[in-house]
Chain A
Amino acid sequence: MARKKVTLQYIANDSTRRGTFKKRLRGLMKKAGELAILCDVKTCVLVYGEGEPAPEVFPSHAKAAAILTRFRSMPELGQCKNKMNQAGFLTQRIDKLRDQVDKSRRECRDREIKVLLHRAMLGALPGLAGLTIEELTSVGWKVD
């Protein structure tokens, strides 16, 4: 698996975009299939590629139509409770990421301070030279 980071932005290069579309479409349909079988649930996916009138459908036109009919027949609330579109989805992921970043930062600082504290305790930092005010205060708190 090529583990490159891809920025979430419309791919400008035409041929790259088309290639990516094909690849990711295949992957998406595969994932949908796995979900359906593993969890024994009704799943359907519709994809309208750029400038393509006909959609790519999982599992099949007929089966998807049936699933969507059932979906539509649900009371509005049932449909809406877990409805997502791009904006909502992104916002949710962004919040999650923010929390992860904050948590990571805190853990990181914690470790760094711990190391500093112990070095100080072992006399490796005579006069605590070279520490910034921030580091000093953090170490001080840690002692308490």
Chain B
Amino acid sequence: MATATATAPRRRASMGRQKIEIRKIESEEARQVCFSKRRAGLFKKASELAVLCGAEVAAVVFSPAGKAFSFGHPSVEAILDRFVPSAAQHPGAVVAGAGLGAAGDRNLAELNRQYGELRTQLEAEKARKERAEEAMAKERAAGNQMAAWLDADLRDMGEEELMAFAAALVEVQAAVSERANQVLQEALNVGR
């Protein structure tokens, strides 16, 4: 799935998307991990179906250990009762969000909006990060002094290099405070 681009193709940290066979996972640990992830994914898909298509959706899942997990929109109770009307209902079983009225809908709309906004923000941040990474990669590739220093481990550096590094740092520090004072002065002068 990874396509080679102009820059060297990056190796992904994990193994990424792999087609797996649908049969019971033998390893208990792996099964539990898979359960956590897929259960969350299932609920997410159910949630999306409900919102996008105006459907009423409920999902009930038992974990390998026997714990019950449920998701329902508008509420698990409402849908279960619709499916299997139960005479012995838990009277007044109030679950947060059950009995949504117009206010509940408004709340949901707002939450959905926030969700969308945050997703966009996240994408923007990821893009910025990519660009920063690219800039760093370019510098590394140029094989110059910057490259050596960018990821420098102080322990690996020889004495000479360390001194040069430290000297440069000190210089920058001085320059920074000088410049900062300068800027401050200008700001004060403008204030007058």
Contact = CB atoms under 8 A, between A and B. Distances in A.
Given A41-B62, A46-B79, A143-B172, A94 B111 contact: yes
A86 B62 contact: no
Could you tell me the dominant secondary structure of chain A's interface residues?
helix
A2 interface: no
Interface string A10-47: 11000001101100110110011111011111111111
A102 B146 CA distance: 28
A47 B22 contact: no
A33 to B, nearest CB: 8
B56 A98 contact: no
Interface string A60-100: 00001101111110101011111111111111011001101
Interface in A1-15: 5-11
Interface residues of B, number: 95
Interface in B40-66: 41-64
B3 interface: no
A7 B56 contact: no
A42 B61 contact: yes
Interface residues of A, number: 90
Given A100-B122, A118-B149, A119-B146, A48 B53 contact: no
Contact of A87 (B44, B93, B107): B107
Contacts of B39: 35
A57 B79 CA distance: 12
B35 A139 contact: no
Given A82-B67, A105-B125, A108-B129, A67 B55 contact: no
A65 B84 contact: yes
A53 B75 CA distance: 17
A48 B54 CA distance: 9
Contacts of B136: 111, 114-115
Contact of A38 (B34, B104, B145, B169): B34
Contact of A17 (B31, B53, B139, B169): B53
Given A38-B24, A85-B95, A98-B118, 7 more contacts: A67-B62, A85-B75, A87-B111, A104-B122, A105-B125, A121-B168, A136-B180
